[in-house]
Amino acid sequence: MADEKRARGGLFTVSVIGGGGEHKLQSVTNFGLGVDAISSVSESTRLDQFSLPAQYNMENITLKESPFAGCDNQPATNFLFKVLVNGTEIGHMRSVSGIGATWDVMENRESTSLNVQKLFNKRTTPDITLNQVIELNDGNPFYTQMKKMGEYVGPGNGYSVVGGADCKYRGDWTFILMNRGMEEVARWTMYGAYPSHYQPISDLDASASEVGMRSLTLTSSPIYGVQNIEEKVTSWPNGGQIVSSEFLSWISGVFAVPTRKHLMLNLYHPDAIPGVGQPAKRWKLFNCWPSSVTYQDLDAGSPGLCTREIVLATDGFLPIG
């Protein structure tokens, strides 16, 4: 109906104010504004406790998207990838999970403002876990990496005599996403990572009907002055898509140092074409920066898109129109 005015939640874009055009997303969640409360206030003349309002405090907004282009400029899948350590491929993987980065959000309150300012503090690179199907006739590249930390050669003192460790336990681990033509789409390199947990085989269960898997967990320990993890993208989406390269490269800054930008969230009427017509509703988001980016697991056993979730720290918003 042409006169139907009720909003729908499925036609929307985001754009960087000042350039870059509109950008399509899969979802936007936690878009809201709250008020910090001074609670449990007591006075000698009252029986009741009460609360008072303090600063406005914008919730951290979560965006979900498919950021990379695969074949024919369609969204890239997540099940064709390979893993390298110090430039050498170490065998086929079933899955890689944990790629991303997170910044601590520091909340700043000042006497001249009613809103809470969000500032970045320390960066954390989550552990990355690799899973590999066990081939009974092949070697064990995971244990080869784990024993760089030291290897039991007992029975010595509590089976803890270490032999062969030379302190070269760090390695540069690279995870490469490919399209169906086996062309590189994107890569992440985790610098100075060391193996922090090794499981030689998945749980043994007489009723199980799964293949045996081994796993290795990598923890970031970069050399001073080198960023924890670096992202290099070969294929951003382009022609025929509602995408903004400025938005995409800005989000990738989470792996270096985040920068603050103002964004516009655009909502369209159901008979409009996003990116072409005028939005029915818009909201300006102030001083946004990506505080966390988490990628969908790269999983050969579970075909799907390569997606990522972005958490935006935001100072506040203003309805436009």
**Can you tell me the distance from the alpha carbon of 75 to that of 67, in angstroms, rounded to the nearest whole number?**
7
pLDDT digits (tens, 9 = 90+) for 260-269: 999 999 999 8
* Percent of residues, the chain, with pLDDT higher than 90: 56
At 319, is the pLDDT very low, low, confident or very high (cuts 50, 70, 90)?
A: very high
Task: For the beta carbon of residue 219, count every other beta carbon within 10 angstroms.
Answer: 15
The residue type of 119 is L
Q: Examine the pLDDT at 286 and tell me if it is beyond 90.
A: yes
Q: Examine the pLDDT at 33 and tell me if it is beyond 60.
A: yes
pLDDT digits (tens, 9 = 90+) for 102-129: 999 999 998 888 889 999 999 989 999 9
Residue 138, CA distances (Å) to 14, 89, 221 in order: 49, 15, 30
47 backbone dihedrals φ, ψ, rounded to 5°: -85, -25
In contact, 164 and 147? CB cutoff 8 Å: yes
Mean pLDDT over the full length of the chain: 88
What residues contact residue 63 under an 8 Å CB cut-off, 6+ apart?
A: 14, 25, 27, 28, 309, 310, 311, 312
42 backbone dihedrals φ, ψ, rounded to 5°: -125, 145
pLDDT digits (tens, 9 = 90+) for 51-76: 988 888 999 999 999 999 999 888 99
